[in-house]
Amino acid sequence: MKQIFLSAILILSALWGASAQPKVIAHRGYWRAEGAAQNSVASLRAAGELGCWGSEFDVWLTADDHLVLYHDDEFEGRRVEELSLAELQHHTLENGEPLPLLEDFLRVAQEYPELHLVFELKPHNNKTQERKAVQASVAMVEALGLADRTDYISFSKEACLGFIAAAPEAKVYYLNGELSASELQELGFAGADYNHFLYRFQPRLIKRLHALGLESNAWTVNKRGTMKWLAAHALDYLTTDYPEVAMTLYSE
Ligand code: MG
């Protein structure tokens, strides 16, 4: 009887250990996969096929109100938000794909029902345009039936507060790092999505977040030592350019 009890404890603790590992998010998709590129449809598919928990991507609203996937603030010396779709569309990604429209990208995401989408809206200088981007993003995600597996992140606090208001059921995480756990909670965030250095500098931050019912995500974690340290400190989500490394590490 005692042996059965001990075995049950061991099994339960093993299950607990497995479930406590951080969930792995491919940063800009699994863009290191063959034939992929950052923020491409191929990188989204590769993240889905690898079995990542989530896939992160970067979104801008063009001057003529099209949501597109693009990371940098500028394209050929001009801010992306000041360009029309036509001006951006002659850009091809490193894998030869055309610049993805958000709608086309999200339609591919529909094919991977297990994959969570980590939707980063880039901070727009024009705040009227940024508010429009928030509304258009939420409307598109909801129209395509992806609301229950889309989280929103941004370095723009205003954009995050816009998502919290426009999609009250969605989880919204802040990227910029200066808000404390209690400030995040007061503003309605689901948690922090901070540079991994911030967790290192504040080793109790994850505990403080958890104590308030909030979650923790770290970017962009590419070293095994940091992956291990964050897992040992009960990080919830890990954003990485090396999802296959993190997934193998966390399944060991
Ligand atoms: Mg991003």
Q: How far apart are CA 243 and CA 245, in angstroms?
A: 5
Residue 170 lies inside a defined structural domain of this protein? yes
52 CA to middle of ligand 1, Å? Answer: 16
Q: How are beta strands 78-79 and 74-75 bridged, if at all?
A: antiparallel
User: Which pLDDT value is given to residue 111?
Assistant: 98
| Residue 17 within a domain | no
- Domain assignment present for residue 3? The answer is no
Question: Ligand 1 mean position to 186 CA, how many Å?
Answer: 24
pTM exceeds 0.85: yes
Query: Would residue 77 count as lying in a domain?
Result: yes
CA-closest candidate to residue 57, choices 146, 167, 145, 180: 146
If one counts the domains in the chain, the total is 1
What single letter denotes the amino acid at residue 159? Answer: A
Q: With residue 78 as reference, give the H or E element that holds it.
A: strand 78-79
Supply the pLDDT for residue 4.
Answer: 59
Which residue has 């403080």 as its token pair?
208
Residue of 51, 47, 53, 65 whose CA lies nearest to 102: 65
Specify the amino acid at residue 92: T
Q: Tell me, in angstroms, the distance from the centre of ligand 1 to residue 146's CA.
A: 19
What pLDDT score was predicted for residue 8?
56
Give me ligand 1 centre to Cα 71, in Å: 7
- pLDDT on residue 90: 83
Ligand 1 centre to CA of 169 (Å) is: 22
**pLDDT score recorded for residue 20:** 79
In-domain check, residue 122: yes
Rounded to the nearest angstrom, the distance between the alpha carbon of 126 and the centre of ligand 1 is: 19
pLDDT at 236: 98
Give domain status of residue 4, yes or no.
no
Distance 3 CA to ligand 1 centre (A): 50
CATH number of the domain at 184, please.
3.20.20.190
CB 192 within 8 A of CB 217: yes
pLDDT of residue 50: 98
Ligand 1 centre to CA of 212 (Å) is 26
Distance between CA atoms of residues 183 and 44, nearest Å: 33
Task: List the domain range (segments joined by +) for residue 76.
Answer: 24-251
| pLDDT mean for each 10 residues of the chain (252 residues) | 54 50 98 98 98 98 98 94 94 95 98 98 98 98 98 98 98 98 98 98 97 98 98 98 98 93
Q: Rg of the Cα trace of the chain?
A: 19
| Separation between Cα atoms, residue 174 and residue 130, nearest integer Å | 16
In a domain, residue 62? The reply is yes
Q: Please give the distance, rounded to the nearest whole angstrom, from the Cα atom of residue 65 to the centre of ligand 1.
A: 20
pLDDT given for residue 10 in this prediction: 47
CA of 185 to the centre of ligand 1 (A): 22
Is 18 domain-assigned? no
Residues, Cβ < 5 Å to ion ligand 1: 58, 120
